[in-house]
Structure formats: C-alpha cells, structure tokens
Amino acid sequence: MSEPLILYEYAPSGNCYKIRLTAALLGLPLARRHYDIMRGETRTPDFLAHVNANGRIPVLQIGERFLPESNAACFWLATGSALIPDDRFDRADMLRWMFWEQYNHEPNIATLRFWLAFVGEAALTDAQRGQIAGKRAAGEAALDLMAAELDRRDWLVGATPSLADICLFAYTHVADAGGFDLGGWPAILRWIDRVKALPGYIPITD
Amino acid sequence: MSEPLILYEYAPSGNCYKIRLTAALLGLPLARRHYDIMRGETRTPDFLAHVNANGRIPVLQIGERFLPESNAACFWLATGSALIPDDRFDRADMLRWMFWEQYNHEPNIATLRFWLAFVGEAALTDAQRGQIAGKRAAGEAALDLMAAELDRRDWLVGATPSLADICLFAYTHVADAGGFDLGGWPAILRWIDRVKALPGYIPITD
C-alpha cells in the first residue's frame, strides 16, 4: 500500500465510521479531515470542485483520486482481503446487502438518528416530520429482515464476517439514537457483540 | 454457464430492465416470471418465504439460490466480463456510481416516474405529495451531476461501458415519464444514444 489514504468525513456519521472500521480491521492507516455538515462545510465551492461534486461525505482520497460513497470506499479498501468473499455468488450477495443498506436501511434508520439526535425534532421541516412514521415502520421492517437472517447464521454472508456485516453494523448499532429499541431484536444484539469482538475493532467514537 | 437463470420481475420497472439489459449485452439467456406489483403480488406469503423476504422485485434466481437487489444481480451476471473493470480503482468507482444510483437517483427519478406515470398523482397519499418538490429538485441535481461527468467523457468509468452506465441508463432514459425534460441535459441525451448503439442492446419494452 504505497498511496496515502485520506478520509474526508464528519466523524459521527455511520457512513464515515464504516470506512474507519474497515481500515482498522485491515490495519490500514487513514488520515482524517473533518468537515462539519451541520455548518454546510461539504457544500462550499471548493469542496464541490475538488472533493465531491455531490457535496457529501465520506470521500476516500487514494493518492490523487477521490472516491465518494461509503460502501464503494469500503470495497476499495477491502479488495483482496477476506472481507470480500472470493465465491462469485457470495460476493454478489455481499453487495446485495450493501445495496439494500443504502436503499432500505440507511434512509430510514440513519435518517431518523440524524433528524432526532442531531437536527432535533423541533427544527425539522413539515415535509420531514410527515415522513417520520413511514421511516419508523420501514426501519423496523429492515431490522426484522436482518434479525430473521441473523437468527439462522452468525454473519450475513458465508461463514465469516464480510463488508456486508461492517456496512450494516455502522448504523444498526447506534439505531437507539433514532428511537429504535434493539432489545426487540435479540439476534441483532448478539451479532453486534460478535462484530465488537473482531480483532482490530474500533468504536464509532474513535 | 450451466445454472439456469430466472428473473422475477415487473417488466416496466427500470430495476428489472437493468438485469435484462445486462444479460442481453452479455448474450446470457434469462427466463422471466412476471409479478404485478400494482396488485401486491410480491407481498404474498409464498413470495416472502421463497423468493425475497424484502417483498420486492427484481430477484435473480441462479440455480437454487435467490439474489435480490438489481445492482447486485447485474454484478453477478457481469462477473468476469468487460462490464466490470479489472482495475481496482475503476471497479470501486463503478460501484460508487451504482451506490449513488440507489441513494441519489432512483429514489427521486424512478419514484417520480412510478408515482406520476403508474400510480397517478390523484391516488398519492398526502405524505407522498409532500415529497414531490423535494424529489424533483434532488432528481434534477442527480441529472446535473451525471451531465457534468458525461460532458467530459463518453462513459462514467474508464474508456468503455461498464455496469455504472447500464444501471444508470435504466431510469435515466425514461425520466420524462416522471416529468424530467432531458432536453435540458444534452450530454445525457448523447450518452443515451451511445448506450442504445451497444451491440445486443434491447429496449425497456422488450
């Protein structure tokens, strides 16, 4: 690994934490640059022109190149490691969970955490407030789906941890901040303990 | 390729079309089973138990196994083909566009097409109607981002078409049905023509 790696991030974001956790599990050093999304620091002309035209963190800088999207950055970091299965079906199935995370899990579980624990319910727009009940139900359905799978197996894909586990762990283990009581999904709590026991594990607060 | 491939789909869905288009470009035969999502046919106990616990199409059946999530199914199909770059950065960058598609593009551009051209504006809930303006703005921003890239290059990743192009083509080329006038993004129109000229191309109506 010769190219320096720099993570452009807002540290409490689960999407940023995924990348730090993947790098930590793989023993890869990562420099970090903080941007305060609450103050619009990823929407400045400089950020849009040089880091990410989409105005979002995280972005992983690899040498001179920039890679947005948390799950893509994890994929780059883990290429060639045991966190990405060699088997053709299992690799696609890992990506299945990662796409599902971005479509069915993150927009509900992460968004409610952001709205309720970071923005604050009183500061939400009417359009946001009107979506809370739908996101609550969809987030609970996402946790049900994960729990049904984790009731049968230790890890989401194959017999060992993969990026599917790391990427879903990020927002699942802090879902209580969005009002989800994980006590209702004991299979998820046991899986969280397994992830936390992985060699190299770091918490989201690191 | 010895295992039979079966696509569980609702044919007008762009997510289902992605898989058909990928298979067509690669010359892979695909059996098809139709489910009418307007009549709830993917939420039956049988579908949830045997095809996809998430109650959604598309699902790709590969032999005895089931793979949900359109972009994961495309990845499985294209494994080992030129539609997935060999280069480590380019492969992750392709996934970047595919994750971006599911997070920033599909929930806005595909959802407005579904709401306006399939459900009908009069049948929307108040919560849905309250999201139209936000999804319109976010969809336009997504098209702006694609157009800025396609103004500089023929394909989204590297010098040849990849799954990033196929997966983004699916809902972009029918965005007019959701009220987006692509005439405002000429670089996207030229890229649509390039995709349509690929050997093996099939339209969404096939």
Q: Which helix (H) or strand (E) holds B24?
A: helix B14-26
Residue B72: inside a domain: yes
Do the chains contact at B79 and A92, CB–CB below 8 Å? yes
User: Per-residue DSSP letters for A36-48?
Assistant: -GGGTTTSSHHHH
Determine the Cα–Cα distance for residues A187 and A69; give it in Å rounded to an integer.
28
Indicate if the pLDDT at residue B1 is higher than 60. no
Which residues of chain A neighbour B96 with C-beta distances below 8 Å? 67-69, 72
CB-based contact, B19 to chain A, within 8 Å: no
Backbone phi, psi, residue A188, to 5°: -70, -40
For residue B105, the 8-state DSSP code is I
Binned at pLDDT 50, 70 and 90, residue B127 comes out as confident
Q: Which of B59, B78, B97 is the last residue of a domain?
A: B78
Q: Residue range B90-113: average pLDDT? A: 98
Indicate if the pLDDT at residue A2 is higher than 80. no
**Of A96, A132, A149, which to mutate for an interface test with B (greatest number of B Cβ within 10 Å)?**
A96
Let me know whether A127 and A156 are in one domain: yes
Q: Is A159 exposed, middle or buried (0-12, 13-18, 19+ CB in 10 A)?
A: exposed
| Beta-carbon pairs below 8 A across chains A and B | 97
- What is the least distance, in Å, from the CA of B72 to any CA of chain A? 5
Do the chains contact at A148 and B67, CB–CB below 8 Å? no
Q: Which of A15, A48, A78 is the last residue of a domain?
A: A78
Let me know whether B94 and B65 are in one domain: no
Which residues of chain A neighbour B126 with C-beta distances below 8 Å? 130
List pLDDT tens digits, range A137-156.
Answer: 999 999 999 999 999 999 99
Residue A31: inside a domain: yes
pLDDT, position A127: 85
Around A44, how many Cα atoms within 13 Å sit in the side-chain half-sphere?
Answer: 12
Within 10 angstroms of residue B70's Cβ, the number of other Cβ atoms is 31
Within 145-204 of B, beta carbons closer than 8 Å to A belong to: 145, 148
This complex has an ipTM of: 0.96
The number of folded domains in chain A is 2
Q: Which of A15, A46, A78 is the last residue of a domain?
A: A78
Residue B206: inside a domain: no
Q: How far apart are the first and last CA of chain B?
A: 23
Indicate if the pLDDT at residue A3 is higher than 90. no
Residue B93: inside a domain: yes
CB-based contact, A62 to chain B, within 8 Å: yes
- The sheet carrying A31-34 orders its strands as A31-34, A5-9, A59-62, A65-68
List pLDDT tens digits, range A4-50.
Answer: 999 999 999 999 999 999 999 999 999 999 999 999 999 999 999 99
Let me know whether A28 and A52 are in one domain: yes
Let me know whether B105 and B53 are in one domain: no
Determine the Cα–Cα distance for residues B88 and B127; give it in Å rounded to an integer.
42
List pLDDT tens digits, range B167-188.
Answer: 999 999 999 999 999 999 999 9
Q: What is the CATH number of the domain that holds B102?
A: 1.20.1050.10
Spatial neighbors of B1 by CB under 8 A, at least 6 apart, are: B28
Residue A178: inside a domain: yes
Do the bridges between strand A5-9 and strand A31-34 make them parallel or antiparallel, or are there none, so unpaired? parallel
Which residues of chain B neighbour A72 with C-beta distances below 8 Å? 92-93, 95-96, 99
Higher confidence at residue A127 or residue B79? B79
Let me know whether B185 and B114 are in one domain: yes
Residue A202: inside a domain: no
pLDDT, position B66: 97
Let me know whether A74 and A159 are in one domain: no
Let me know whether A45 and A92 are in one domain: no
Residue B203: inside a domain: no
pLDDT, position B136: 98
List pLDDT tens digits, range A63-116.
Answer: 999 999 999 999 999 999 999 999 999 999 999 999 999 999 999 999 999 999
- Measuring CA to CA, how many Å separate A33 from each of A45, B6, B148? 17, 46, 26
CA nearest to A101, candidates A140, A131, A68, A142: A142
Indicate if the pLDDT at residue B135 is higher than 60. yes
For residue B173, the 8-state DSSP code is T
- For chain A, helix (H) and strand (E) counts, in that order, are 9, 4
Q: Which helix (H) or strand (E) holds B66?
A: strand B65-68
Joined together, the tokens standing for residue A112 give: 């409610």
Let me know whether B115 and B188 are in one domain: yes
Range of the domain at A13: 5-78
A97 CA to centre of own chain: 12
Let me know whether A23 and A96 are in one domain: no
User: Per-residue DSSP letters for B176-193?
Assistant: GGGT--GGG-HHHHHHHH
Q: Residue range A52-64: average pLDDT? A: 95
CB-based contact, A28 to chain B, within 8 Å: no
Residues in chain B: 206
Let me know whether A66 and A95 are in one domain: no
List pLDDT tens digits, range B51-61.
Answer: 999 999 999 99
Which residues of chain A neighbour B57 with C-beta distances below 8 Å? none
Q: What is the CATH number of the domain that holds B72?
A: 3.40.30.10
CB-based contact, A104 to chain B, within 8 Å: yes
- Measuring CA to CA, how many Å separate B45 from each of B49, B50, B53, B60? 6, 9, 9, 19
Let me know whether B65 and B92 are in one domain: no
Residue B202: inside a domain: no
For residue B45, the 8-state DSSP code is H
Let me know whether B184 and B104 are in one domain: yes
Residues in chain A: 206
